[in-house]
Amino acid sequence: MKEELNLLKPEKVFKYFAEILEIPRPSKKEEKMTAYLMDWGTKRGLETLRDDIGNVIIRKPATKGMEAKPSVCLQSHMDMVCEKNSDKVFDFEKDAIETFVEDGWLKAKGTTLGADDGIGVATQLAILDSDDIEHGAIECLFTVDEETGLSGAEALSSEVLKSRILLNLDSEDEGEIFIGCAGGKDTLGKLPFEKEETPEGTAFKITVKGLKGGHSGDDINKGLANANKVLNRVLWTLDREMDMCLAGFEGGNLRNAIAREAKAVIVVSKEEADDCVAIVNKFAKDVKFEFRSTEPNMEVSINLTENPEFVIDFLSQDNLLNLIYALPHGVLAMSREIPNFVETSTNLASIKMVDDCFVIATSQRSSLESAKEAACDKNAACFLLAGADVSHGDGYPGWAPNPDSKILKIAKESYERLFGKTPVVRAIHAGLECGLIGEKYPEMDMISYGPTLRGVHSPEERLEIKTVEMFWAHTLDILKNL
């Protein structure tokens, strides 16, 4: 793997990315990555700090003749989303990411690649390790737990950063510069159920898989299917067509990823077994046609399975199926000011059985604080109607755009000079740490940009190799011309 990546350019960026791919770094479990960064900076004689939560800061003095330049903070997060295909044997806490190159893209074998935001981390290390780059004083901030709560940025001291210019290296569209992002908040429902004796009959497992999934911010407006929603539709129909008992429902995984796979176990009478199979197969045909342009690899299957140990009580079953149908998913509102920009959305992220409860995780985003809270309340209302307990996460703020930003002007001029075209300047519906950092450093002048990534937060994650060279050249030119 290292040999293949070492052939890619910029060489030093991909050299460090290859090293990062071998370090386990799930969100909230970044200890090995933190230790790597601390050791890396210390060995090179650079000022290297670690705060209580695990964020790392490495500082490098200005190159000769550039001492008068303003200090700049380069920022990325060290954790990654850990998603894999169900048939992939892989332990994100132990195993190295396996990669391959195909048609100009770097991809992983059956798992997320971790270029979000490992490629940002690798770029920072390449800059810190170079002696032929012109720059003023640099401090590189590597945060933890961006993907599951932004707790690293939340815990960052309001006094530790010396810079008042920040380049966030965590965006996914080369040629676009971001100057604002949505805020977010999670809403969790816990629906209790009673276990009942499994009746006589035929047990089936119904599975939805092959969906693209993706980022619940960037990809929420792309018409992708949600496996939880798809599975629930056929279960809801079966529940009304026959005497169906539900024994299990599991789907999705992470709050910031659109659910790609879901499965349920049901029991029906032997007399209705053939009808059950026919209904599911007809539904599979219909729903695949419905999503034919966005989910060409969707699979909905029904197979015989062993009789479950128990089924859930009928009242809880009805409450669950009605609840999942009623919970919103997708775009709730488009911006009234910015064309084709998602203002508010919600993601029905995961459904898990924990002890005697269904735990249902949802995530809301909006560039408007009031609309974000309203979206949370909409989900809460559905939970309450079904008799579920409701709780909310702390949430994180959005990042208000500043079209008069000085660093934006420098970055735009740099891009035009390098590539002969004007970059797109816009806000993003995904969450970025800039919102939290901006709260602690109100005078911070910030932009976010990066190479092109697609399929993030899913095993389809891929990095367009040629855009990494453009991203690298753009970053170095910004540093030179501050």
Pairing label, strands 138-143, 72-77: parallel
CA distance 393 to 398: 15
- Write the single-letter amino acid at 192: P
CB 149 within 8 A of CB 363: no
The residues, ordered by sequence, that sit 6+ positions from 235 with a Cβ below 8 Å of its Cβ are 206, 244, 246, 249, 264, 266, 321
d(C-alpha 80, C-alpha 145), whole Å: 8
The one-letter amino acid code at 271 reads: E
E strands within 356-452? 357-366, 389-392, 424-428, 445-448
- The sheet with strand 99-102 has its strands ordered as 99-102, 105-108, 462-464, 453-454
Which of 79, 343, 460, 464 is catalytic? The answer is 79
Q: Determine whether 308 is exposed, middle or buried from the number of CB atoms within 10 Å of its CB (0-12, 13-18, 19+).
A: middle
Report which DSSP code applies to 240.
Answer: H
Catalytically annotated residue among 30, 83, 116, 146: 146
- CB-based contacts of 313-317 (< 8 A; 24+ apart in sequence): 313/193, 313/194, 313/195, 313/196, 314/245, 316/191, 316/192, 316/193, 316/194, 317/193, 317/239, 317/245, 317/246
Annotated catalytic residue 343: no
Q: H-helix or E-strand containing 38?
A: helix 31-43
239 included as an active-site residue: no
Structure tokens at 353: 């059985």
End-to-end CA distance of the chain: 37
Distance of CA 125 to the CA centre of its chain: 23
d(CA 301, CA 280): 7
Residues identified as active-site? 79, 146
